[in-house]
Structure 1
Amino acid sequence: MPIWNQLRQSAQSMQVQLNAKKNDLKSGAFRDASMAMCALVAAADGSVDPAERQRVASLIVGNDVLSNFAADDLQRRFNDYLGKLQADFDFGKVSILQEIGKVKKKPTEARAVIQIGIVIGGADGNFDKTEQAIVREACFAVGINPEEFDL
């Protein structure tokens, strides 16, 4: 099976797992960490072009788990995190990883945030090395072994 088909199936499988936990994923910390993760994956290569921003924004709005939250609120938070990354990528990344780390004490939320990062990263059929590295860093921020997600 070609690697992109495996990636697509893995992302779909993670989305199914997320949907099963939807009722457990309603906290503000999860919302913020999820949007931080989306911004971090979108900007993994150090920049975000308008097409990539639009693609990630549409994935956020279309994600069933994130429908627990108001779409305009999610968009505002996503844009705020992207703004931090665009202003100073390295400093913004540290700040955003701290935000993601706030779900560390809630394993269900922590795993869900990592899964959202993988779903967003793999949505275009190419979960590249920079995206994988960013999600790996997020794993460390929430205290999860990256190998659990084959990272």
Structure 2
Amino acid sequence: MAIWNQLRQSAQGMQTQLVAKKNDLKSGAFRDASMAMCALVAAADGSVDPAERQRVAGLIATNEVLNNFPADDLQRRFNEYLNKLMADFAFGKVSVLQEIGKTKKKPAEARAVIQIGIIIGGADGTFDKTEQAVVREACFAVGLSPEEFDL
């Protein structure tokens, strides 16, 4: 239970950081990279169950930072990235990581995208090894050290 509490506190701290930067996170690159990250984490284990889709829908609906964008647009983009990953995970992952990498020139956006990945990964109470691995790959795509996020 201590690990779950630690993960929850870390996710809450990241959410607080995101909200503090809400006004800086309004670009199309951030929007697209955020949804690409959500799809990547949701599909990390090779399948996406309805509960994972529901967690992402919940994040889209309730996350203050993502409220900068229309929810239906975010949902559509998430589904597009998810479809790429489910059609061919290896090829889709390359495309999705390229989308995430577009935030590399803006470190605040890059960090926010990684934080969203961690929040989504931990939303079910566990941030498993496959989810951690794809978030770690996303860190490299945006030029950030995984150690900065304890990955």
TM range (shorter): over 0.9
Question: Mapping of 1:68-87 within 5 angstroms?
Answer: 68-87=68-87
CA shift, 1:135, in A, is: 0.3
Question: Mapping of 1:20-35 within 5 angstroms?
Answer: 20-35=20-35
Q: TM-score, normalised by structure 1?
A: 0.98
Task: Note the residue ranges of structure 2 that are not aligned, 5 or more in a row.
Answer: none
CA shift, 1:56, in A, is: 1.5
Q: Show the counterpart of 2:92.
A: 92
CA shift, 1:51, in A, is: 2.2
- 2:98 maps to 1:109: no
Give the distance between the partners of 2:132 and 2:57, measured in 1 at CA: 19
Q: Show the counterpart of 1:44.
A: 44
| Paired residues of 2:36 and 2:99 also in contact (CA < 8 A) | yes
CA shift, 1:52, in A, is: 1.4
Deviates more, 1:54-63 or 1:104-113: 54-63
Q: Please, what is the CA RMSD of the aligned residues?
A: 0.8
Q: Show the counterpart of 1:64.
A: 64
CA shift, 1:99, in A, is: 0.3
Aligned residues with identical type, % of pairs: 85
Runs of 4+ in 1 over 2 A off after TM superposition: none
Q: C-alpha offsets along residues 103-137 of structure 1, whole Å, 9 cap, x if unaligned?
A: 00000000000000001111111011110000000
- 2:137 maps to 1:137: yes
Q: TM-score, normalised by structure 2?
A: 0.98
